[in-house]
Structure 1
Amino acid sequence: MLRQRVITAVILMAVLLPALFAPHPMPFVLFTLVLISAAGWEWARLNGLATPPAAIACGVALAVACGVAGLLGPLGAGPAWPWWLGVAVWVLGGAAVLRGGPVGWPAVPAALRVLIGLALLWLGWWALANARVIGINFLLSVLCIVWAADIAAYFGGRAFGKRKLAPAISPGKSWEGVFSGMAGVLLLAALWLAADQRWDFDSMSLFTVLSLRIGLAGMAIAALALAGLSVVGDLFESLVKRAAGAKDSSHLLPGHGGVLDRVDALLPVLPVALALAHL
């Protein structure tokens, strides 16, 4: 299993890094478009469309919708309303879905479940593309919020975890892990602010943007909120998999599960980060 994980990670990085650091955003946009269409296929399979043609059609439809948004919609300096809509959907809708738990999710009509997931994937990809257009440093600062929160939560949960966060959804998560993740994000923010002041990157990080617009205290609160939303995204996908009786969203990424398993925590963080950057 470890060997599979390492080989898969190396292959992904060999494709992702050149696309990310290419002079033009288009290689990264196209590469992530392929990934998000695969995630759409996985989502459809987890939510009642088990037949291959129907699930593939959902992935293709999502790719087309993302492509249309990328071609016709403004990138980089676009309007703020899609991101604030994402804030409302993830905060209010996420709370409602998590409250219902794995038992409540299947009660939602299958067509609506599929549509909700595809819409969230579309918004997440569009936010990802916009963040790349703004700048590599900006995009990496947003992505690293999720990664830092996840890593710190893992080690903090193992060391101090006692109170279960959502045992019916993800038994391994604890409140101590969540708080450790938030502490890790605050440390990340402090280090990134210092790096922005010392080196000249292609763009300001999200942390610098927020500190300039809403102050250091406001930036810290926003970073904590984003860390919390990464947990919501993770729990949401875990809930859907548990309701479907699946351990992983697919086996597209040997040793890692599926694409959804890798991007679940990013889906709420990306649009909300862009909303905050518009403050």
Structure 2
Amino acid sequence: MQALSQKKRVLTAAVGLPVLALALGLGGWPLTILIGAAALCGMREFFALAGRPGLVLEGVGYGLGLACIVCVRLGLWPAVVGLLAGALWLEQFAFLRRFAALGAQEPPRGLLAAAILYVAVPLGLLTVFAPLETVFILAVVMAADTGAYYGGHAVGGAKVWPAVSPGKTWAGTVSGLVAAAGVAALFALFTPPGAAALALVGVVMALVSQFGDFFESALKRVAGVKDSGAILPGHGGLLDRVDGLLPAILVYAVGRSLLGLG
């Protein structure tokens, strides 16, 4: 069974990585379409874990998420804010309808806006980054994951947050931060900022990526599931692969503005 799962993981990577590389190379709308499809899958998995807002609202949420990605791609940030506020108010109005008709007592939870902010907006930022920037983000997050995995298994020791993720150790966390800093510093060969600045960005990205892992782990434990979905054979759901990537993208976006990384 484990060998079969490993074969599925390799096959998924063999298909997925060339598609991603081609989309990055083409950029523009081909990349935006791929990002939009990924965002729809991620939002669907989020709703499955955190709770579904209702069939109609969920469908509207997908449309708003795609609209946000297009607006990010075009640099229409006031429209992004308006769409997020609209998502929030749609749930408020739905609550009012339930309250008036059925006497509903549970207040709105903001699931639409949460799904868009959690999945669609970070992924949408990839549509405005240069290919090297996206490679940088992916390389740093992968280095953090790989370093944490091997460092944790080699050293073991105290757990970081056993109530949320029993497998993660402090040794793994430190190893992941060091690996991410090293990989980030290597990109100083291709970008104006110095190695120290990029290493610092890499450390912060690695740190928040681990919190992204913790957050999705907690969602899955509350929902009582092992994986967020099954769309990626051998890997589980999309969120299982990008849970650490999503907050790392946001950190890079801040560093990009402050340090001129773009």
**What TM-score comes out, normalization by structure 2 length?**
0.78
Q: Which amino acid aligns with 1:186?
A: A
Question: Match for residue 125 of structure 1?
Answer: 123
Q: Residues 220 and 18 from structure 1, CA distance in 2 versus in 1: closer, same or farther, beyond 3 angstroms?
A: closer
1:19 equivalent to 2:23? Answer yes
* Alignment partners' CA distance in 2, 1:244 and 1:45: 8
Deviation at 1:51, TM superposition (A): 6.9
Q: Between the two proteins, what is the percent identity of the paired residues?
A: 32
In structure 1, the gaps of 5 or more residues are: 83-107, 197-203
Q: Residues 150 and 265 from structure 1, CA distance in 2 versus in 1: closer, same or farther, beyond 3 angstroms?
A: same
Q: Residues 68 and 222 from structure 1, CA distance in 2 versus in 1: closer, same or farther, beyond 3 angstroms?
A: closer
1:39 equivalent to 2:15? Answer no
Question: Match for residue 181 of structure 2?
Answer: 186
* Alignment partners' CA distance in 1, 2:249 and 2:202: 12
Q: Which amino acid aligns with 1:227?
A: A
Q: Residues 68 and 187 from structure 1, CA distance in 2 versus in 1: closer, same or farther, beyond 3 angstroms?
A: closer
1:272 equivalent to 2:251? Answer yes
Q: Residues 184 and 56 from structure 1, CA distance in 2 versus in 1: closer, same or farther, beyond 3 angstroms?
A: same
Tell me the secondary structure at the aligned position of residue 109 of structure 2: helix
- 1:161-240 pair list within 5 angstroms: 161-194=156-189, 196=190, 204=191, 208-209=192-193, 211=194, 216-240=195-219
**1:142 corresponds to which of 131, 137, 145:** 137
* Alignment partners' CA distance in 2, 1:124 and 1:153: 23
* Alignment partners' CA distance in 1, 2:249 and 2:70: 18
Question: Match for residue 229 of structure 2?
Answer: 250
Aligned length: 228
**What TM-score comes out, normalization by structure 1 length?**
0.74
Who wins on radius of gyration, i.e. which is larger?
2
In structure 2, the gaps of 5 or more residues are: 82-105
Q: Residues 272 and 138 from structure 1, CA distance in 2 versus in 1: closer, same or farther, beyond 3 angstroms?
A: same
Question: Match for residue 92 of structure 2?
Answer: none
Deviation at 1:225, TM superposition (A): 1.3
Greater relative CO (CA pairs within 8 A, separation 6+): 1
* Alignment partners' CA distance in 2, 1:109 and 1:15: 42
Q: Which amino acid aligns with 2:73?
A: G
Q: Which amino acid aligns with 2:45?
A: E
* Alignment partners' CA distance in 1, 2:23 and 2:116: 24
